[in-house]
Amino acid sequence: MQNKTFFITGIDTNIGKTFVSLLLILAFRQKGLNAGYMKPVETGVKINKDGSKNYIDGHYLKEISGLEADIETVTPYTFQSPLSPYAASKFEGGTVCLKEIIYKFYDLKGTYDYMIVEGAGGMLVPLKQGHFMIDIAKYIDAAVILVTKAGLGMINHTLLNIEYAKSHGIKIAGIIINNALNETDESVLSNKKILSAYTDIPFLGDIPYLQTEKDLKDRDLLEGLALKYIDIENILG
C-alpha cells in the first residue's frame, strides 16, 4: 500500500480498534519502522480526583507501546459523556475543530514513518454538525482499515460498511477481523471465505480472542501476535 497514514474504523464501538492499532504499531516496529498514534476525539473520558483526564485508548496504547507523544496531542478532544462527539459537545458545550485535528495530526506525523489514527465508534458517528467521524480520514488522506467481528452478523455489518464507503467515495484499504467478543458460533469458521465472495478488499488480519487481561498488556506476547496475525507485508505493499 502506498499510503503511510491509516485510519482505523470499526463496525461498532468496542470492536477492538485500539487493540488493532496497537498491534499495527508493534508490527511496524518489528519491520524497523516507527508508527505514531492519534485518537483525535474520545468520549466517556472521566476526570480523576486530581483533575487529570482518564484517557482510555491513548493511555493504554502509550503504556504498552511506549510511544512518547504527549497525551493532549494524541487526543486533543475529550468529552466526559459517553455519547457521540457531536451529542457530547452539545451537552457539555464546546465543539470539535477539524482544522485543529488536522494541524495536530501533521505535527505528529512529522516524527514518524507511519501514522495510525483511530476513530471513535464507527464511520457514521456524528463528529460535529454536518460531519461524521469518517470525514477525518478524508481530510488526512488516510487509507481506511475496517475492524470487524468474527461471528454471526459480521458479513452483514462488514458489507454495509463497505457499501456505504463505496457509495461515498471512501476507499476501504483492508479488513481486520478481531475476535474481541470471543465468538465461537459456527459462522466463525466460514465468515471470511463467504465474505470474500462479495468483496475484493484484502483481509489484513484475523486476530483471535485473548483469554486474560494480563495477555492484553503483555508487550512480548502482543509483538508475537502482531507478527503472526497481521499481514504487515501487504500493508507495506
Ligand X SMILES: Nc1ncnc2c1ncn2[C@@H]1O[C@H](COP(=O)(O)OP(=O)(O)OP(=O)(O)O)[C@@H](O)[C@H]1O
Among 5, 18, 84, 161, indicate the residue that binds ligand X (CB under 6 A).
18
Whose cell is 456505504? That residue is 164
Minimum distance from residue 198 beta carbon to ligand X (Å) = 23
Report the catalytic residues.
Answer: 39
Between 84 and 89, whose beta carbon lies closer to ligand X?
Answer: 84
Asked if residue 128 lies in contact with residue 93, where contact means CB atoms within 8 angstroms, the answer is: no
Minimum distance from residue 110 beta carbon to ligand X (Å) = 25
- Report helix, strand or coil for 219: helix
Residue 210 binds which of ligand X, Mg ion, none (CB < 5-8 A, kind-dependent):
ligand X
Size of the site for ligand X (CB under 6 A): 18
- Report helix, strand or coil for 43: strand
Asked if residue 14 lies in contact with residue 149, where contact means CB atoms within 8 angstroms, the answer is: no
Between 185 and 198, whose beta carbon lies closer to ligand X?
Answer: 185
Query: According to CB under 5 A, which residues from 45 to 64 bind Mg ion?
Result: 57
42 touches Mg ion by CB under 5 A: no
Q: Which helix (H) or strand (E) holds 132?
A: strand 131-132
229 touches ligand X by CB under 6 A: no
In this structure, the dihedral spanned by the alpha carbons of residues 151, 155, 160 and 163, taken in order and rounded to 10 degrees, is 140
Name the residue among 147, 124, 139 with its Cα closest to residue 204.
Answer: 147
Return the axis-axis angle of helices 57-65 and 219-229, rounded to nearest 10°: 90
Between 53 and 192, whose beta carbon lies closer to Mg ion?
Answer: 53
Name the residue among 87, 74, 71 with its Cα closest to residue 133.
Answer: 87
Burial 3-25 (b: 16+ CB within 10 A, else e): bbbbbbbbbbeebbbbbbbbbbb
104 touches Mg ion by CB under 5 A: no
What are the distances in angstroms from CA 173 to CA 106, 206, 207? Answer: 21, 15, 18
Determine the interface stretch with Mg ion among 14-22, 24-32, 144-152, 176-184 (rule: CB under 5 A). 14-22
Among 36, 45, 57, 58, indicate the residue that binds ligand X (CB under 6 A).
57
209 touches ligand X by CB under 6 A: yes
Minimum distance from residue 19 beta carbon to ligand X (Å) = 4
78 touches ligand X by CB under 6 A: no
Between 14 and 111, whose beta carbon lies closer to ligand X?
Answer: 14
Residues that bind Mg ion (CB under 5 A): 17-18, 57
Residues that bind ligand X (CB under 6 A): 10, 13-19, 57, 120-121, 178-180, 207, 209-210, 216
